[in-house]
Structures are given as structure tokens and as C-alpha cells.
Structure 1
Amino acid sequence: MRVGIIGGKLQGVEAAYLAKKAGWDVVLFDRRKKAQGAQLADVFHCMDILRSREEFVAELKGVNLILPAIEDLEVLTALADIGQRTHIPCVLDLDAYRISSSKQRSNQLFAAMGVPAPRPWPDCHFPMLLKPSDGSGSEGVQVIPCREKLERLLHQESRDNWVLEEYLEGPSYSIEVMGFSGNYQVFQITELEMDAQYDCKRVLAPARLDLGLKREFEEMALKLAGELSLQGIMDVEVILHAGKLKVLEIDARLPSQTPIAVFHSTGFNMVEYLGKAFVQGKMPGPRLKRARQKGAEKPVILEHFLVTPEKIEACGEHILGEAGPLHVLRDFFGADEVLTDYTWGKKEWVLTLMTWGSSPVEVWAKRDQVLKRIQEELQIPEVLDPYPPSWYEGAE
């Protein structure tokens, strides 16, 4: 398989990493010369595909699959058209994406379906969460603690492109669902830990979640996929508040972070399954077996660090978007595998650290040892966020 990935930032890194794990040839397109995924590809083309459309089409020769890894509706619309013209399958559901990329439209969908979600303003109390309606991730998210701050914001900003809803506390979880025309499958549930800006800094697999809640979450994801008539993949993020799961957002596109964690925990490669599904026009082979037996899923930690001469700090994945091209290294200071822009002598660099093992305790100890080696060998004064997550507590 030869896949053309469009977009070399966080989703592009995810797509290229897993495509290489599947043994595919990767052709990456991005208009930035130092795209984060550039070194993960076999071939990298620095181009703006909207301005150089015919050149882009020419470079697709030999490509079996177009995999968008970008959240730009104009680019996605162009890719859908190019896929039809060239008869190359394009992993894209524009109708589902238009709904999921708007939190206002997504919330309307949740309300119409009766899916539990945070209560909207003015039917909730302070503190509240203010989120931009368009896009995904944590950019622009704010906690509004009181009416005075809310009134100041409403005076400064139009509410047309913002969502105000109740602020909920509790652990967050994510799941991917994939399929076509009513035939959908879910993947492993992962737990997400956030930094101070509500950006995911750590993914834990498998999630430590009650079996009943796991089944409820899976059914919720399948129900949403069916309502959207999903053609491809989407992820669903929820928060567990006061014993109840509430949907925070959906995204009908290949996500970042969680597919890699799921791959190392279960062996299921979402990009490989997705590619085969679009090339064949249906889900490949028998239904995925969800590993429920004890020991069938390896504990995995995937987390992001910013490393400077002063500290090693766990941060949300936004730090990767500010880094240079990333490369994969194995046995990096004892780690199972990492994605990093580190080079010898570099003073400030990013690290996506991946560790796995037979138990959460073993994995956390291995992760701790990697950070300790980096700290000692590079003589860095401190490691921030050194404490085990709740996922680790009580594990054997």
C-alpha cells in the first residue's frame, strides 16, 4: 500500500507513524518545510495543494489511498473532489465532519438524540466552560468562574461562534468508532489526562473504567456513528462526572495520540484497518475482537514532555505542534519508543514517550526510570508532574 497523507502536523504524525507500522509507503504533503511528520515519510512534498492542485495530482501517481490529516474545510473539500477525479479512495466523510467540527451543531445532535452532555448556559451554574465552536482540542478554552467575568466576555466577544456550558470535573475517556452504513466497530477505550490548558498530556491504555460504564460508552459511540451515517472513523470524548458519562465532543476524522496508544496496547492498527476499509469499500475481515480477558491488553502510557536545561515538564500535545520534524527512536534513554525532535546538544526539545509492559506498576516504573536517566545524564534540575495517575492506583 502507498498512502498519500495530507497534513504533517499532529494528525499527520499519527497517520504516518501507524502507516509505517503497517509496512506501507508514505508520501506526505504539507506546505511547511519543517512539518512535524516530514522525517516519518518515505517521500515528503512541501507544497500548498490548493495553489498547486495539478502538481499535487501528478504526485499522487502510484498512491492507493488519500488520507487527510488536516482540519481545513477548503482543503478537505478539494481532496474529496480530487479523490473522485482520480478514483483514489479518500478517507473522508465531509457530512459527518461538518457536524463534528462545530460544537454548536454537535451539541444540537446530542440534544436531539438524548445523549448525556454538559448542560448549556443559561441552564447551568458557575463555573462554566467557554469553548470556540469550530475546531477541536483545547485552543481558546476558558473557565468562567463568575457572572462578572462572563459579562465582560460577552461585552467583548460575539457569542455567534462560542459555546458556553457547565464546567464538569472528573476523568476523561476517549473511544474510536469505525465503519460504513450501519456496520460499525469500536476500539479500545483510553483514559486522557490534561494539562492546565485542558490539552491532553497523557494517554493511558487500557482505561480503568467499570465494565458497565465501558459498555455504555461503546453503545453511545455506536449510536452516534449510526445517527451520523458515518463513513470512516470518528472519536468520542466523554467525562465521568458524579458517576455518569457525559459527551464532551466528537471528531469525524483520524485523531491524534489515542490510536498509537491503542496500537501498542492491543495490536490493532486503526490506520491499517481504515485504509483497507476504504480500498475494499467495506470493513475488512471478521469483526474486531475486543480484548476483554485479563492480560489481553498491555498497559501503555503515552505522554508528552518539554525538555529544557531547567526542567522536564509534562505538557499537552500542543508542544509537538511547535516543534521541528520528529523522528522515531527506540531504547532512547531506556524507553520502548519515542517521538522527538532531539538531536545531540539541543537545549530545548520535545518528547512523546511511549512505555508498555505487563502491569501498570511495571510501566510506570519504566517510565520513571527513563525520565530519571534523562535528568541525570543531561543534568536537568527537576521533573515536573512526577506522580502516578489514578490509573496506576491499586494496580498489581
Structure 2
Amino acid sequence: MKVAVVGGGLQGIEATYLAHECGWEVLLIDKNSLAPATGLCDEFFLLDVTLEEEKLLKVFEKADLVIPALENDKALKIIKNIKSKVSAPIAFDFEAYEISSSKQKSNTLFESLGVPMPKLWPNCNIPVIIKPVNASGSQGVEKITTVEKLAAFTTQKNFSANNWVIQDFVEGPSYSLEIFGCLGQYFVIQVTDLEMDSNYDCKRIIAPTILNESKQKDFEEIAFKIAQEINLTGIMDVEVIHHQGEFRVLEIDARIPSQTPTAVLKSTGINMLELLAQIYLDNEKPDICLQISGRGVIYEHIKISENIMQVAGEHILTTSGPIYFCSNFFGADEAITNFQHQKSEWVATLIIVAENLNKVWQKREQVIQNIKTYCGITAYQDLLPEGEE
């Protein structure tokens, strides 16, 4: 089977990797010839979706399935508008994405459903987190710790309240869960644990979760409630933080996520892209065997610069240029990396798998030590959000 993946960034890396795990051929489309996923695809098409509609249609004609893996609103509008001209299904819920891509619309949805979320300013205390309304993940996120700094931010010449969400800064562990929808039926796979860097960008995914079964069910109920309300078709990622005994929803994303699907695949053997394809190609809910536990997996990003190793958020991949798949990478089961021998600066996503969480952490320590030894690392930094140890 051939899949056309639109976008060679973080979601494109994920979609391309998962497609290859299914044994599919990947046709990648991006306007950047050095997009990270260009090193992973089978065939690359250099084109700007927003300017070259006819060329885009010709690529889509070669595919059995189209997977938008980007968050460019103009590009997504083009794809939506040509949907009727494309014989291959487009695996994307445009209506659900319109809600999830706006933090204001998402927050309005949460409030209407009674889903707990961080309180909005001014109905909360300092410190607060400010987020661009239409950005994803950690893009533009900033923690503000004093009223004076918040006042300075909100009185800037170009500040518009419609472009920002200001919320209570809540502390606690973060978790993620993907939920699927098909013809009014919904199902989930596995909760994963998230760890952030100093910019609140996810640096590490751990599976299976350390949450007990009761807490997992609580999280799942939140995901089901949201998916049912927006009549989800396909996939949606729900991210929460556990604060003072309850889950608070940070954001939802109704598109193929990055990072977590690979961790879930390695832990459970279930490929989310394969499920997504079944929903759009067969128009029926996939028949899968669900499980709560799974193999231990650590999926994390590292950056090597001279003799310094940093564990940092996935943003380090976005400017790395083309990256490639590698197995048995310094003892890691797999890696996605631009590593070259004798190269002093490189990045890698390490995928480490073992029988359980204890064993995968032991294995991970050996992998890190192997890299330190080979590269002559003298400084190791596992970056953390401000105030965490």
C-alpha cells in the first residue's frame, strides 16, 4: 500500500515511521527539501501545498491513503477543498481539528462538558501559563511568575487577548491518551507518561503508565466524553496533568500525534496508523485486542554538541535536517537520527524497549553511558521545567 504523508515535520516523522512499520510505501510531500522526514520516506515530492494544487493532486493519485501530518491552516484548507477530487480517503477529521487547533474553542468545549482544566485568568492566581491560541504543544508557551510581568506582557503594543490563552500554572505529572472514533463508536489504546524539558516541550515518553487502573479509567472517561461531543472520526490526542487529585485537560489535538504512537506500538504491538487506515479505508471500527499493560518503553530525544549531552524536547529535531532510521543504536533498540561518525553535533530519538519499566530504565542507563563514552561527554543535562528537580 502507498500512503501520501503531507508534512515532513514532527507529525510527518511519526506517520512515516508508523507506515513503514506497517510495511507501506511512503510518498512524502513538503515545501522544505531538508524537512526531517525526508530521510525516512520512500519518495519525496518538493512542493508547496498552498501554491501547487495540480501537482498535489497528481501525488495523491498515486496513493491509497492520504495522511495530513501538519498544522498549517492554509494547507489544510486546500486539502479539504480538493477532497472531492481525490479517490484516496483523506485520514483527517477537519471539523474536530477546527476545535482542537484553537485553545479558546477547546476551552469552551471543556467548560460546556464540565471537564476539569486549569482556571483562566483572571480567575486564578500567579503564576500563570500563557499560550498562543492556535499553536500546538509547547510552541510559544511561557510561564509568568509575577503580576508585574503579566501586566508588561498584556500591555505590549501588539498584544491581543484574542490571540492568547492565560491559565493557572498547575503542577503535577503529565499524561497522554489517544482516542479513536468511527461511526459513533470510540476506543482507546494505552495511557503514556510524559516528561518535559525546560521549555515545557516533551522530551521523553514512558510506557506503560505508572497510573493505577482506576486513574486510567478516569482519564479514559474524559477522553470519551470529549470525543463523543465532537463526533470524532479518526484519532485525537488528549493531554492532561494530574494536579491535587484530579486530571486537568491541557489540550486536545485531532490529528496524528508525534512521539506517543511509536511508544504505544513498541509497548503493545498496536500500530495507531494501521487503525486510522482501517477507519478511513474500511469505514468500520477496527477489531483489536486492548490491554492495559505492555512492555516497558522509553522514547526520548537527545542532542549532542561537542562534549555536552542534553535530553531535550522534540523541537530539537525540527532544525536537524533529514533524519534516518537506525537499529541497535549504542544499545538502543532503534533510533531516528542524523548521527554520523566523527560528527560532533547531532540529534537522536532513542527508542528503548524491555520486558518492564524497571528493566527498560536499566537498559536506558547503559545506552546513555555508551553514548557518553563514545562521544567523550563531560556534561550531561536532563533538562527540566523551572522549579523541578
TM-score range normalised by the length of the shorter chain: over 0.9
Question: Whole-Å Cα distance in 1 between the matches of residues 9 and 382 of structure 2?
Answer: 25
Per the alignment, residue 377 of structure 2 pairs with: 380
Identical-residue share of aligned pairs (%): 43
Question: Whole-Å Cα distance in 2 between the matches of residues 350 and 177 of structure 1?
Answer: 30
Question: Whole-Å Cα distance in 2 between the matches of residues 194 and 21 of structure 1?
Answer: 27
Say yes or no: does 1:369 pair with 2:388. Answer: no
Listed as ranges, the matches of 1:231-380 within 5 Å are 231-284=233-286, 286=287, 288-292=288-292, 296-380=293-377
Partners of 1:18 and 1:269 within 8 A in 2: yes
Identify the match of residue 219 of structure 1 among 202, 218, 221: 221
Partners of 2:312 and 2:383 within 8 A in 1: no
Question: Whole-Å Cα distance in 1 between the matches of residues 132 and 344 of structure 2?
Answer: 34
Identify the match of residue 173 of structure 1 among 172, 175, 185: 175
> Equivalent residue of 2:221, what SS?
helix
Per the alignment, residue 125 of structure 2 pairs with: 125
Question: Whole-Å Cα distance in 1 between the matches of residues 78 and 140 of structure 2?
Answer: 27
Question: Whole-Å Cα distance in 1 between the matches of residues 181 and 304 of structure 2?
Answer: 39
Paired amino acid for 1:151: A
Question: Whole-Å Cα distance in 2 between the matches of residues 238 and 92 of structure 1?
Answer: 23
Q: How many residues align?
A: 382
Question: Whole-Å Cα distance in 1 between the matches of residues 357 and 235 of structure 2?
Answer: 29
Partners of 1:300 and 1:357 within 8 A in 2: yes
| TM-score calculated relative to the size of structure 1 | 0.94
Per the alignment, residue 97 of structure 1 pairs with: 97
> Equivalent residue of 1:246, what SS?
strand
Q: CA deviation at 1:210?
A: 2.1
Question: Whole-Å Cα distance in 2 between the matches of residues 125 and 181 of structure 1?
Answer: 42
Partners of 2:312 and 2:382 within 8 A in 1: no
Question: Whole-Å Cα distance in 1 between the matches of residues 277 and 83 of structure 2?
Answer: 14
1:334-371 Cα deviation digits (max 9, x unpaired): 11000101112222110101111112221112111111
Question: Whole-Å Cα distance in 1 between the matches of residues 269 and 364 of structure 2?
Answer: 20
Per the alignment, residue 393 of structure 1 pairs with: none
Question: Whole-Å Cα distance in 2 between the matches of residues 317 and 206 of structure 1?
Answer: 20
Over 3 Å off, 4+ runs: none
Question: Whole-Å Cα distance in 2 between the matches of residues 385 and 291 of structure 1?
Answer: 31
> Equivalent residue of 2:32, what SS?
coil
Question: Whole-Å Cα distance in 1 between the matches of residues 160 and 80 of structure 2?
Answer: 32
Distance 1:114 1:365, change over 3 A: same
Per the alignment, residue 134 of structure 2 pairs with: 134
> Equivalent residue of 1:126, what SS?
coil
Question: Whole-Å Cα distance in 2 between the matches of residues 383 and 273 of structure 1?
Answer: 39
Question: Whole-Å Cα distance in 2 between the matches of residues 233 and 377 of structure 1?
Answer: 40
Q: CA deviation at 1:386?
A: 9.7
Paired amino acid for 2:155: H
Question: Whole-Å Cα distance in 1 between the matches of residues 300 and 61 of structure 2?
Answer: 37
Q: CA deviation at 1:79?
A: 1.1
Paired amino acid for 2:189: F
Question: Whole-Å Cα distance in 2 between the matches of residues 266 and 260 of structure 1?
Answer: 10
Please report the RMSD computed on the Cα atoms of aligned residues, expressed in angstroms. Answer: 1.3
1:153-211 Cα deviation digits (max 9, x unpaired): 11112212101111000000000001223111111000000001000000000110121
Paired amino acid for 1:196: S
Question: Whole-Å Cα distance in 2 between the matches of residues 58 and 163 of structure 1?
Answer: 40
Partners of 1:181 and 1:226 within 8 A in 2: no
Distance 1:386 1:49, change over 3 A: closer
Question: Whole-Å Cα distance in 1 between the matches of residues 9 and 66 of structure 2?
Answer: 16
Per the alignment, residue 394 of structure 1 pairs with: none
Partners of 1:66 and 1:83 within 8 A in 2: no
Paired amino acid for 1:32: N
| TM-score calculated relative to the size of structure 2 | 0.96
Per the alignment, residue 182 of structure 1 pairs with: 184
Question: Whole-Å Cα distance in 2 between the matches of residues 198 and 219 of structure 1?
Answer: 26
